[in-house]
Structure formats: C-alpha cells, structure tokens
C-alpha cells in the first residue's frame, strides 16, 4: 500500500477555522465484511482495530459535556469499517438515543444480512437511526466490480428489507439515503439529476425506494490513493480536483462543525484527516494528538483546521461531504 500523505502535505490549501461543534463522527473500527476498491479506510474482514468499551464510555462522557456546556451537538455519525460489527454497537446506539441526539449509521447494506446481525435492521428502525448506505451504481456489474462479487444482489435484498420496515418510504420518518462515488478518477455527476435516475431505476427494477442520493468524490488517500499512484494517475487526478476548485465550497465543508474520533479515541478534523494521521490543532493552532477524554468542546471554536491537498476532494465542482454535494 502506497502512502499518499507525503505527496498531499506538499500541496497548499486555503486555511479554515472551526465553528461550534454540531456533529460527532465516531469510527468504531476498521473491521468490515467487505473490502471495496475505493475504500479510504482500508477496511476489510482481516482488520483487528475495534473501539473498546472504555473508549465508548469516554465518548458518552464527551457527549454529556457537550450538553452541559450548551454546545449544539445534534448528530452522532457512526462509521467504520462496518460500525455494526463492533460488539458494543447496540449499547452505544441505546445510550445516544437516551440522550435524544440524532444518530446516523453509515451502513454498507450487506452487513444487515450477515450471520449474527439478524436483529440489526429492526433495531435501527426501533431507535429511529438514519441510514446512509453506499451503493455506487444501480447496475450489478459496476457495484460488484468496486465492492465485490454478489454485493449488488445482497444490497438490493437489504434495501428491500429496510423498505419493508418503513425506511425511505414516503410518509415515514425513517431516513434512508444512498451514497454514490465514481468508479475511477473522475468527478461525480450532478447530484439531483443522478438522484432522479437512481430513483427511477431502483423503483422500476427492484421496487426499492429511498430518500436522497449523496454524491461523493473519491479521496486520493489509502486504497484509492495507492491505486492512483500505482497506475500513474495520482497527479492527473489531483490536477482535476484543483482545476475544479470552487471557493464557495469552503463555507460548507463538513470539518467546520464536525470532529472525527478514531477507534482509540483520538480526535481529527474529519475522517480523511484521521486516515492520514493529521490530528486536530491545539490552542496554538499546531497539530497535536488529542484524546476525546481531554477535549473541551467549546474550546474548539476558531481553531485552525488541518488542511492538505486531499481537501480539494471536498471542494472540487459541486463539492463533497458526508452529506453529499455542497453547492
């Protein structure tokens, strides 16, 4: 695996400062039942890194500190790997739910049909957890090429199961959003137009419904970044991202009001910085390895965000964030 950080850190990007915290993104570990080509986490069934109960309790304490100091934390975003494979997933969701904060599960869909996860779909519905699920195409071959043989068929089965519980169905408050990312080193197409095409295909072919489609750019890091370097496409992709940079996207990049916490409890400005090992800034605006148990949420405001070349992945064209296009 080729590390692209030394290439990315040389690329200048405009400075950004934090606003009040709204979203806590928790990476519950790198274990996944899939091993997708574009994965920016390098997740796989072989990974052993899993958040333990102590760290989960420290995160719950942090959420309580946010409530006490009047922070506007309104979303906990659970990611991985497959976050549901963490043995403490259920208790974490139950505890956050008691605190009346919205929960989003970044679900790869196939995990819902894994052995031992039979309870999962009903549990998520019962706790009103929003589901954001990756489905990089509405056609079998493209999905299987990127995510593994048989993944499309299993994903459709999982989507039908979620629809059966009320997820993504008109009139229901159970939210099911899908995520698209390009197959290779290109920018995603226009989000609302692609959403219309997805909705029509999935409904006509499989009877599947969902709320919104989020289009995301592939990040030039980890497995995808390494593939770009090995195919000699890294520089061309970076040039594409930089040529399509739009300054207005700086106003809505997700790192302004989100922190990302790794499986050991260390804090980053976003999931991508986590993967590149770029910790949040301290009060002198220098990168400093900071644990969630030592973090005072209110003190993050106005701190500098750690940026590098990969940030063009968030700001090119219509922009890209955990919630899809920015424009």
Sign of the Cα torsion 274, 195, 165, 172 reads positive
Among 4, 23, 25, 34, binds ligand SF4 (CB under 6 A): 34
Q: Determine, following the binding rule CB under 6 A, whether residue 307 of this chain makes contact with ligand SF4.
A: yes
From the list 297, 300, 267, 273, the residue with the least C-alpha distance to 285 is 300
Cite the beta strand spans of 138-257 per DSSP E: 176-180, 213-215
Q: Determine, following the binding rule CB under 6 A, whether residue 19 of this chain makes contact with ligand SF4.
A: no
Q: Determine, following the binding rule CB under 6 A, whether residue 35 of this chain makes contact with ligand SF4.
A: yes
Among 8, 24, 28, 36, binds ligand SF4 (CB under 6 A): 36
Per-residue contact flags (x/-) with ligand SF4 for residues 51 to 70, judged by CB under 6 A: --------------------
Q: Are 73 and 302 in contact (CB under 8 A)?
A: no
Q: Determine, following the binding rule CB under 6 A, whether residue 241 of this chain makes contact with ligand SF4.
A: no
DSSP structure string for 64-131 = HHHHHTT----EEEEESSSGGGSTTHHHHHHHHHHTT-EEEEEE-SGGGGSTT-TTHHHHHHHTT-EE
**Closer Cβ to ligand SF4, 4 or 108, answer by number:** 108
Q: Are 185 and 237 in contact (CB under 8 A)?
A: yes
Strand pairing category for 258-261 and 213-215:
unpaired
Site residues (CB under 6 A) for ligand SF4, limited to 101-160? 108, 134, 147
Q: Which helix (H) or strand (E) holds 198?
A: helix 191-206
Among 272, 274, 324, 326, binds ligand SF4 (CB under 6 A): 272
**Closer Cβ to ligand SF4, 39 or 267, answer by number:** 39
How far apart CA 143 and CA 161 sit, in angstroms, is 19
**Number of alpha carbons in the 13 Å side-chain half-sphere of residue 60:** 18
What residue has token string 């969902």?
A: 210
Q: Determine, following the binding rule CB under 6 A, whether residue 31 of this chain makes contact with ligand SF4.
A: no
**Closer Cβ to ligand SF4, 51 or 255, answer by number:** 255
Size of the site for ligand SF4 (CB under 6 A): 25
**Closer Cβ to ligand SF4, 63 or 253, answer by number:** 253
Per-residue contact flags (x/-) with ligand SF4 for residues 76 to 105, judged by CB under 6 A: ----xxx-----------------------
Instruction: Please state the closest distance from residue 110 (CB atom) to ligand SF4, in A.
Output: 8
**Closer Cβ to ligand SF4, 147 or 199, answer by number:** 147
- Number of other residues whose CB lies within 10 A of the CB of residue 128: 12
Instruction: Please state the closest distance from residue 191 (CB atom) to ligand SF4, in A.
Output: 17
**Closer Cβ to ligand SF4, 31 or 96, answer by number:** 31
Instruction: Please state the closest distance from residue 134 (CB atom) to ligand SF4, in A.
Output: 6
The contacts of residue 100 (CB under 8 Å, 6+ apart) are: none
**Closer Cβ to ligand SF4, 60 or 240, answer by number:** 240
SS (H, E, C) 32-59: CCCCCCCCCCCCECCCCCECCHHHHHHH
Check residue 317 and report its DSSP letter. Answer: T
Q: Determine, following the binding rule CB under 6 A, whether residue 267 of this chain makes contact with ligand SF4.
A: no
**Closer Cβ to ligand SF4, 58 or 89, answer by number:** 89
Can you give the binding site for ligand SF4, defined by CB under 6 A? 32, 34-36, 39, 41, 43, 80-82, 108, 134, 147, 253-255, 269-270, 272-273, 305, 307, 310-311, 314
């Amino acid at each position: 695996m080729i590390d692209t950080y030394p290439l990315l850190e040389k690329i200048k990007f405009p400075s950004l400062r934090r606003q009040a915290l709204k979203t806590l993104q928790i990476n519950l570990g790198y274990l996944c039942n899939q091993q997708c080509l574009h994965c920016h986490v390098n997740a796989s069934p072989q990974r052993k890194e899993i958040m333990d109960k102590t760290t989960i309790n420290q995160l719950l304490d942090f959420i309580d500190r946010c409530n006490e100091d009047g922070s506007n934390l309104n979303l906990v975003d659970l990611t991985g790997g497959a976050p549901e494979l963490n043995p403490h997933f259920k208790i974490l969701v139950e505890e956050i739910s008691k605190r009346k904060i919205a929960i989003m599960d970044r679900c790869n869909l196939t995990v819902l049909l894994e052995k031992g996860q039979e309870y999962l779909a009903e549990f998520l519905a019962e706790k009103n957890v929003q589901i954001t699920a990756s489905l990089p195409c509405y056609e079998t071959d493209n999905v299987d090429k990127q995510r593994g043989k048989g993944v499309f068929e299993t994903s459709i089965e999982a989507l039908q199961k979620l629809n059966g519980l009320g997820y993504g169905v008109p009139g229901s408050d159970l939210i099911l959003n899908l995520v698209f990312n390009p197959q290779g080193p290109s920018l995603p197409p226009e989000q609302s137009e692609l959403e219309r095409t997805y909705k029509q295909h999935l409904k006509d072919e499989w009877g599947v419904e969902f709320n919104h489609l989020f289009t995301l750019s592939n990040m030039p890091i980890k497995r995808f970044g390494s593939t770009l370097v090995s195919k000699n496409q890294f520089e061309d992709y970076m040039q594409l991202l930089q040529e399509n940079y739009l300054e207005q996207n700086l106003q809505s990049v997700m790192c302004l009001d989100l922190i990302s916490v790794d499986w050991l409890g260390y804090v980053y400005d976003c999931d991508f910085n986590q993967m590149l090992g770029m910790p949040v800034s301290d009060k002198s605006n220098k990168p400093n390895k900071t644990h969630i148990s030592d973090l005072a949420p209110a003190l993050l405001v106005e701190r500098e965000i750690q940026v590098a070349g990969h940030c063009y992945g968030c700001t090119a064209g219509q922009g890209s964030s955990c919630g899809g296009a920015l424009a």
